[in-house]
Amino acid sequence: DTGVSQNPRHKITKRGQNVTFRCDPISEHNRLYWYRQTLGQGPEFLTYFQNEAQLEKSRLLSDRFSAERPKGSFSTLEIQRTEQGDSAMYLCASSLGGYANTGELFFGEGSRLTVL
């Protein structure tokens, strides 16, 4: 296993278009997180899954954002009707939860979104 994989790595879109990002976590990790990072800021929590269940969502996650993890493996993050303020790096991370929790997040390299 080569780690957390995200694609596309870069996405340029016009305002109002929909975009979808995919994250493939480390295979044995049951927890998957989405973060957003803007220039000069640390990662901001968006949402996380334990297996296929979405357990928590940030208030940052507006109704235009939706995330899924249908089979408890890969996850998608969709942004509908993109706005220029959505331009950011979208980070995915995975971890072991429960009794195997080592308290560590493993990050992918991120998907950079630019909304024109």
**Which is closer to another protein, CB of 14 or CB of 27?**
27
Q: Considering the complex, what minimum distance in angstroms separates the CB of residue 62 from another protein?
A: 19
Which 3 state secondary structure label does DSSP give 85? helix
Strand-strand pairing, 10-13 and 65-68: unpaired
* Interacting residues with another protein (CB under 8 A): 4, 31, 33, 35, 40-45, 48, 55-56, 91, 93, 95, 97, 101-110
Is beta strand 53-57 parallel, antiparallel or unpaired with respect to 75-79?
Answer: unpaired
> Cβ closer to another protein: 92 or 115?
92
Least distance between another protein and beta carbon 72 (Å): 17
The answer to whether the CB of 53 falls within 8 A of the CB of 46 is: no
Q: How many CA atoms lie within 13 A of 36 on its CB side?
A: 20
Size of the chain in residues: 116
CB of 15 to another protein, least distance (A): 26
Taking the alpha carbons at both ends of the chain, their separation in whole angstroms is 36
Q: Give the shortest CB-103-to-another protein separation in angstroms.
A: 4
Residue 43 or 82 with smaller CB distance to another protein: 43
Nearer Cβ to another protein (74/107): 107
